[in-house]
Structure 1
């Protein structure tokens, strides 16, 4: 039972670490206007999708979590009129505009804070579980 509880908390730690890494990548690329291939295409935010992990399940129904996928935000970029910018769009509806990533710093920071708190909570659960196991062994011995 104690080992299964630690496995569940470990799965949550891994999921929240992945989420934090993804969020930090979004924040780091808020000003990226060019993709890896050198094309004038703004960075698109990533988001982690979590799912219940049925492998880590207790008899009482508690379950772990796993990263199901990391999806790319498909929303339109933010356009700013900057006709003198070297990456300004040359023709069409958005002529003279520069496409920027559609990433809200406040939302990213709140999500990062939430992931950090979830991570800390699971570390706390692991400490309690470890102490419970230690106390149980001291009673038996």
Structure 2
């Protein structure tokens, strides 16, 4: 496989991974106020092939306990009157989203550059 095509495939793989990261973070943000919700974490591993730099393997749940709030009137409270809040930090999620967005843009720029070089090569061969 030529290097320009490999570069384009890696960039596409990177954009797909960053899209999944943004999706998981958006689910966490959406459920930040849901009592008992556990933050989702995307597990990423290096791909066995050169075409895919990294792949998302699975979504795990963060084992960190959420804050316990005293609210005996809540139907979700335990015997002692406490409700376990979600363990989602909006600051962490927004930082993760920003990082994923910038990584997506970097992969997109890499794809565009490889496409431009590929087009230039085709133009030279047509002459």
Q: TM-score, normalised by structure 1?
A: 0.82
Aligned CA-pair RMSD: 1.3
Q: Deviations over 1:61-114 (max 9, x none)?
A: xx6111122111111121111122222211xxxx12111111100000000010
Aligned residue-pair number = 124
Matching residue of 1:74? 63
Matching residue of 2:13? 11
Question: What is the distance in 2 between the residues matched to 1:29 and 1:3?
Answer: 40
From the two aligned structures, give the one with the greater helix fraction: 2
Question: What is the distance in 2 between the residues matched to 1:88 and 1:69?
Answer: 31
From the two aligned structures, give the one with the greater strand fraction: 1
Q: Structure 2 matches for 1:1-141, cutoff 5 A? A: 1-33=3-35, 42-57=36-51, 64-90=53-79, 95-141=80-126
Question: Can you give the 5+ residue segments of structure 1 that lack an aligned partner in the other structure?
Answer: 34-41, 58-62
Question: What is the distance in 2 between the residues matched to 1:69 and 1:49?
Answer: 5
Question: What is the distance in 2 between the residues matched to 1:7 and 1:82?
Answer: 52
Structure 1: which 4+ aligned runs deviate by more than 6 Å?
Answer: none
Question: What is the distance in 1 between the residues matched to 2:22 and 2:105?
Answer: 12
Question: What is the distance in 2 between the residues matched to 1:54 and 1:4?
Answer: 14
TM-superposed CA distance for 1:54, in Å, is 2.4
TM-superposed CA distance for 1:140, in Å, is 2.2
TM-superposed CA distance for 1:125, in Å, is 0.6
Matching residue of 1:39? none
